[in-house]
């Protein structure tokens, strides 16, 4: 029976490249010269760590990172921007976790969206992905098209297509 998986995978190497390019731009930015700004990627915890003297400079760092993500072909929605900056000594720090995988709530939204579309497919949540099966490959492709047209607040990839 044909099937595919809906996942949210990240390419850590592309994120690392975007952070490195952002660091180079930071070194050349005149307005951030005296702010003691830092950008680093913690690959183990999958977090982008930012530091600056002022919150305004920290917001400039976030803008730089988001622009570099889009230039690398990464969706900026993979960064969790909900965490507030916190003071630490002379600096203001902010940690931006990288969201990977589909959480249960997003998985439920995807399954409900597929059911509401009334396509002849079955969707089931499996850990951090959603598996969609059908008797027809055309129905699966129609499902992919409908999912691409809807915003689930996380980037979706279609993986493991089997016929």
The predicted-structure confidence for 125-160, as pLDDT tens digits, reads as follows 988 889 999 998 988 899 999 999 888 888 888 888
Q: Residue 15: is its pLDDT beyond 80?
A: yes
| Whole-number pLDDT of residue 30 | 87
Percent of the chain with pLDDT over 70: 100
| Confidence label for 88 from pLDDT (cuts 50, 70 and 90) | confident
CB neighbours (10 Å) of residue 102?
23
The overall pTM is greater than 0.85 = no
Quote the radius of gyration of the chain (alpha carbons, Å).
19
Q: Residue 22: is its pLDDT beyond 90?
A: yes
51 and 86, same domain (yes or no): yes
DSSP 8-state code for residue 96: E
The interaxial angle of helices 137-148 and 104-116, nearest 10 deg, is 120
Distance CA 48, CA 115 (A): 36
Q: Total structural domains in the chain?
A: 2
Average pLDDT, the chain: 90
Q: Which domain holds residue 128?
A: 3-8+101-162
Distance CA 8, CA 128 (A): 8
Q: What are phi and psi of 161, to 5 degrees?
A: -70, 125
Residue ending a domain, among 49, 78, 97, is 97
Q: Residue 35: is its pLDDT beyond 90?
A: no
**Please, what's the b/e burial string for 46-80 (b: 16 or more CB within 10 A of its CB; e: otherwise)?**
bbbebbbeeeebbebbbebbbebbeebebeebbbe
92 and 79, same domain (yes or no): yes
| Whole-number pLDDT of residue 67 | 94
């Amino acid at each position: 029976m044909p099937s595919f998986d809906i996942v949210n995978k990240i390419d850590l190497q592309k994120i690392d490249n975007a952070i490195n390019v952002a660091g180079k731009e930071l070194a050349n930015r005149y307005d951030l010269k005296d702010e003691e700004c830092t950008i680093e990627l913690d690959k183990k915890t999958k977090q982008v760590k930012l530091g600056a003297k002022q919150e305004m400079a920290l917001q400039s760092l976030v803008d730089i990172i988001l622009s570099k993500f889009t230039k690398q072909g990464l969706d900026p929605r993979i960064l969790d921007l909900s965490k507030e900056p916190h003071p630490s000594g002379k600096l203001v720090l902010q940690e931006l976790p990288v969201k990977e995988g589909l959480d249960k709530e997003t998985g439920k939204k995807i399954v409900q969206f597929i059911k509401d579309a009334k396509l002849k497919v079955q969707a089931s949540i499996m850990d951090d992905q959603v598996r969609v099966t059908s008797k027809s490959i055309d129905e699966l492709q129609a499902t992919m098209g409908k999912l691409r047209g809807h915003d689930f607040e996380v980037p979706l990839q279609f993986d493991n297509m089997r016929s």
